[in-house]
Amino acid sequence: MKPMSPSVAFALRLVLTLCIPLALVLTNVRLLMTHTFPEVEYRFSNFPADLYGFTQAQRLYWSKRSVDYILSIPGAGQIEAWKFVEDGLSLPDTQAPIESCQYYLAPRDCTYFYNDREVKHMVDVQILVGRVLWVWGIAAVLGLASAGALDYFRARAALRAGLLAGTSLTVFVLVALVTYLLLNFNTFFTQFHQVFFTGDTWLFLWSDSLIRLFPEKFWEDAFIFVGGGAIVEAALIAAWAWWGLK
């Protein structure tokens, strides 16, 4: 077999290095957007109760349905039409009492689960998630293809270097971000939304359904899950590259 040219090996190594952080972080973002995460999160003893009366069962029902909407899963329905009590849903134990609507200060009929501002934000999130998942797929395919090509042509030194560089970059960036998050979550959360969303469309009242389902504690744990998970995964890949590809 003709050996791979040094320039091609270097290019593939660079692609692998850059794709690893994206692939690892976005893999955990995708894992975050499952029914399992709220199932676990809402059962933590230190997770705050809803001040306006949502039970754990109600939170689970509506959070899972919201995840399905964000992922464009069929069956979630039109989010602007969701109501606290809906025709055809035999879920008496998971519906918020209609009295909850007294806390809503939006112009929509208080029987609707999300007000106009929340609907707009959820639509924006759905669009953003669709784009993020495309980036995830591209990074994963390019990273795996680069690693596969380097391995196939026996450019093991370049493969090892790319894996170690990519995982080191992942750990360095995420340790810095997680440390910043733990020291000043509110600033991090604000800056995150300013980067990915326009204006102040992501700001809500404490009585809004989005805040009641996903309070600050939920997002603190979500960011730690994504960052911490990617750090652990990067460390495992680095250990394999260090000892397994010598």
Task: Note the pLDDT tens digit of each residue in 21-36.
Answer: 999 999 999 999 999 9
For the cut 70, the answer to whether the pLDDT of residue 102 exceeds it is no
pLDDT at position 180 is 92
Torsion angles phi and psi, residue 72, rounded to 5 = 60, 35
pLDDT at position 1 is 66
pLDDT at position 240 is 94
pLDDT at position 162 is 96
Confidence class for position 55, pLDDT limits 50, 70, 90: confident
CA 174 to each of CA 24, 52, 214, 224, 232: distance values in angstroms, whole numbers, following the listed order: 11, 35, 23, 10, 11
pLDDT at position 110 is 64
Q: For all residues of the chain together, what is the average pLDDT? A: 87
pLDDT at position 106 is 44
Average pLDDT over residues 112-139: 94
pTM of the predicted structure, to 2 decimals: 0.88
For the cut 90, the answer to whether the pLDDT of residue 90 exceeds it is no
Q: Which amino acid would we find at residue 152?
A: Y
Confidence class for position 139, pLDDT limits 50, 70, 90: very high
Per-residue pLDDT tens over the stretch 225-238: 999 999 999 999 99
Alpha-carbon gap, residue 182 to 214, rounded angstroms:
18
Per-residue pLDDT tens over the stretch 158-213: 999 999 999 999 999 999 998 998 899 999 999 999 999 888 888 888 888 999 99
pLDDT at position 200 is 83
Which residues, 6+ apart, have CB-to-CB distance to 231 below 8 Å? 170, 171, 174, 175, 178
